Amino acid sequence: MVLNISDLTIARGGIKVLEGVSFDLAPGGAIVLRGPNGIGKTTLLRTIAGLQPPHSGRVDADPDSLVYAGHSDGLKATLTVEENLVFWAQVFGKTDISQAIESFQMARLINRPAGMLSAGQKRRLGLARLLVTGRPVWILDEPTVSLDGDAVAMFASAVRAHLARGGAALIATHIDLGLPEAEVLEVGPFRARAAELDDFDEAFL
Binding interface with other proteins (CB under 8 A): 46, 49-53, 64, 66-79, 83, 87-88, 90-93, 129, 205
Q: How far is the CB of 49 from other proteins (least distance, A)?
A: 5
Q: How far is the CB of 70 from other proteins (least distance, A)?
A: 5
Distance CA 46, CA 74 (A): 15
Q: How far is the CB of 71 from other proteins (least distance, A)?
A: 7
Q: Any bridge partners for residue 15, and if so which?
A: 12, 197
- Between residues 196 and 201, which has the closer beta carbon with respect to other proteins? 201
- Between residues 184 and 197, which has the closer beta carbon with respect to other proteins? 197
**Residue at 6: amino acid letter:** S
CB 54 within 8 A of CB 33: no
* Sheet with 30-34, side-by-side order of all strands: 66-69, 137-141, 168-172, 30-34, 183-186
H or E segment to which residue 86 belongs: helix 81-91
- Between residues 19 and 179, which has the closer beta carbon with respect to other proteins? 19
Q: How far apart are the first and last CA of the chain?
A: 34
- Between residues 90 and 146, which has the closer beta carbon with respect to other proteins? 90
